[in-house]
Structure 1
């Protein structure tokens, strides 16, 4: 194996009631990589399913996407880490291409730009919220991104050094903002975005989308204040 295709990577998978999606997701983790499923209070047996399928299971009782992601980052051991949703909307088998951008020196933070595949893959209200936030990010920080998607790759120690504090929906945006402030090279490439398995806990409703946008706007306001 060359360095651009490392065999030791931890894939952080925040999880809340994803029993139906977990088998599909975990069977697509690249060979030699470790799946770190962070259970955020599931009641459908997700932790047991993940453990049975060979994943490392971390329990994070504080509810929140950021809380789950950061717990996974703290539990990770590999130099390289990836983040991916656990609802089968994104294929973990595509992560090596993002990791290769980091190990190859093209980027310090590589993100997957979601490209909807099929009807219902990305609700209009969620897409509109993402577009608005991307524009706000560009206006307030100068970072040129078209998506703030959850699929990403970076080096673990560098991520920890960013000092991320958001534990809600603003975590992915805060990562980008802090990385930009630290002078990181940030790149995005297209990845297919499928209809998720099960009901969305964040952007599946107008209310959830509004809360996510509010969380992320607070992160941007904080960035400007600094």
Structure 2
């Protein structure tokens, strides 16, 4: 049981800690909205990681093999969604800076907590590399002996908890950043930097092999 717990925590942090386009967008969203919205978005990412960990334990190599033919289309779809978010974020930031208006007057209302959760869940689910990652870990550490369902459940829950803790930390960091940079110029610079990073990471997803 302890081994399953440790394996799940290591797997969850292993997939969550590397900062990519989704993590960058999460920080930016928390900075522009609120900690509550950012926390719900963070849990959306963690839910996707937990679901893929569950699918990996249940399906193993068969599920990973089934996803490989659609890996490229899903990667393109994920990159497209992130690119749209990056461009939209930059355009809204420039409009706010030029007009010197309140965000409520110059931009659409911020997403609700539920919408933020579903959006980040959907974006993260578009990345099948996650399930292949978990499948490789499960198959690489599984012995010839049968694994108890309880141990598999502990592994999945630990992976979810690890991912959730890291994503929530990013959300808190984004909320603190948003409070520090309250001026028009500060928000413009951070929004443009965030959009640039998201766009570059989206392009890397497309060209990745």
Which one has a larger percent strand, Structure 1 or Structure 2?
1
Which one has a larger percent helix, Structure 1 or Structure 2?
2
| TM-score exceeds 0.5 | no
Using structure 1 for the length normalisation, give the TM-score: 0.23
Q: Who wins on radius of gyration, i.e. which is larger?
A: 2
